A = this chain, B = another copy of it.
Amino acid sequence: MNFDLTERQTHWRDRVRDFIEANIRPNMQTYIDQDNEGERWKVIPIIEEMKVKAKSQGIWNLFMPPQGQLSHVDDSFEFEGPGLTNVEYALCAEEMGRIGWSSEVFNCSAPDTGNMEVFHRYGTREQKDQWLTPLMNGEIRSAFLMTEPRVASSDATNIETRIERDGDEYVINGRKWWSSGLGDPRCKVAITMGKTNFEAKRHQQQSQVIVPMDAPGVNILRHLPVFGYDDAPHGHMEVELKDVRVPATNLLLGEGRGFEIAQGRLGPGRIHHCMRTIGVAEEALAKMCRRLQEREAFGKPIYKHSVWEERVARARIDIEMTRLLCLKAADMMDKVGNKMAKQEIAMIKVQAPNMALKIIDDAIQAHGGGGVSNDYGLASAYAHQRTLRLADGPDEVHARSIARIEFSKHTDLPNHAGVSSGDMAATR
């Protein structure tokens, strides 16, 4: 047990942090202005500009795990990132979380990260050439079509989308929502979860298939706001898949292996989200501390009112603890693998957004009316974090999973809860 960061651990974090402070933070207003100008669903120039810079400095595709951590590795060494461990990347993710759009600058934003990892682990050479290469180059973007509006997707066995074999093709019919990233004009491909066999065992009915966004029958019905935010140009969409036909070779890994793919995907993604969430919470706490020192009420600076001392202390305690838990989970993933880290991953999945929501809410309160507006970025941070209590499995499903493992330590109960693939894909 050693809480010092190694030189390697600080190396990437500091590069990311420095890049953000030098390049991204000074352009925050530019981003807001470009986002608000004209068309909602477009490419935002400052991001493209920053991407070039980040890529040229090699701060790019950092999320891609070391070759050794990929269970289904092959010889395609060209599809590698710089090989950060989960701990190393987690520290970078926290920095990226401080400013919402910085993940994309480093080509590290969801759901591309998860999709790239899936292509890397399970894709054929052809699939990699077609999709993984442009994704890793930051030329296209992608989506993950999982959650459905008509069933409780917290229990992923409820999924109703049909993927039916018809000769050399699969025919896909279903309705998805919270398909994040589909608003982006560069989004070219979606990995889609559905059932190939409704009669198989509960966790062997599902398969994942690659669907090009321009396939006939892929109809974007509407965008879904989060609270009042459209999250453009990324966006969260409701999509109809109507007799969509793809070549049979678009199936990933094999029929009935959709769950297996989903589970491999979700572990790292959760760590990434959680560490970004910690960055969000740190920013909110910093804003709160500054604001409370700037203003006076009832004869003294507000920060001297002890109710705020209690809230700030609580915030600092909760951030520190959550970060440590998150890094521990990442460390376990690095050392003993995602399966053994299952309880820890579930724990931070529950803990991180709940922690952040409380701190952001207090920060809103500290800012008065300004807090609920867009002036301080707090209301939008709240809205986004609120989705993370639902995305990739709601709190309740993870609590169930944690508890079952805990109970199993004191008995011979089976130690797994129902598998959950999430009620909403968590992507931004």
Interface of A toward B, CB cutoff 8 Å: 1-6, 9, 87, 147, 149, 151-155, 158, 177-178, 224-230, 285-286, 289-290, 292-293, 295-298, 302-303, 305-310, 312-317, 320-322, 324-325, 327-328, 331-332, 335, 343-344, 346-347, 350-351, 364-365, 368-375, 379-380, 382-383, 386-387, 389-391, 394-404, 406-407, 409-411, 413, 417-418, 423-424
Given A307-B396, A403-B308: A1 and B368 interface contact (C-beta under 8 Å): no
* CB <8 Å contact, A411 and B328: no
* CB <8 Å contact, A372 and B398: no
* CB <8 Å contact, B324 and A328: yes
Q: Can you sample 7 A-B contacts with CB below 8 Å?
A: A1-B5, A147-B368, A310-B396, A313-B402, A317-B325, A371-B390, A372-B390
Q: Count identical subunits in the complex.
A: 4
Chain B nearest CB from A281 CB (Å) reads: 13
Residues of B with C-beta under 8 A to A227: 227-229, 372, 379-380, 382-383
Q: How far is the CA of A317 from the CA of B348 in the complex (A)?
A: 8
Q: How far is the CA of A367 from the CA of B187 in the complex (A)?
A: 28
* CB <8 Å contact, A380 and B4: no
Q: How far is the CA of A382 from the CA of B289 in the complex (A)?
A: 25
Chain B nearest CB from A356 CB (Å) reads: 14
* CB <8 Å contact, A154 and B297: yes
Residues of B with C-beta under 8 A to A228: 225-230, 374, 379-380, 383
* CB <8 Å contact, A403 and B296: no
Q: How far is the CA of A299 from the CA of B403 in the complex (A)?
A: 18
Q: How far is the CA of A296 from the CA of B157 in the complex (A)?
A: 11
* CB <8 Å contact, A372 and B387: yes
Residues of B with C-beta under 8 A to A409: 286, 289
Closest-by-CB residue of B relative to A1 is: B5
Q: How far is the CA of A227 from the CA of B383 in the complex (A)?
A: 7
Given contacts A3-B328, A316-B402, A324-B325, 15 further A-B contacts (CB under 8 A): A1-B331, A152-B295, A152-B296, A153-B368, A225-B374, A289-B407, A292-B407, A303-B403, A307-B396, A307-B399, A312-B407, A313-B406, A369-B390, A369-B391, A371-B390
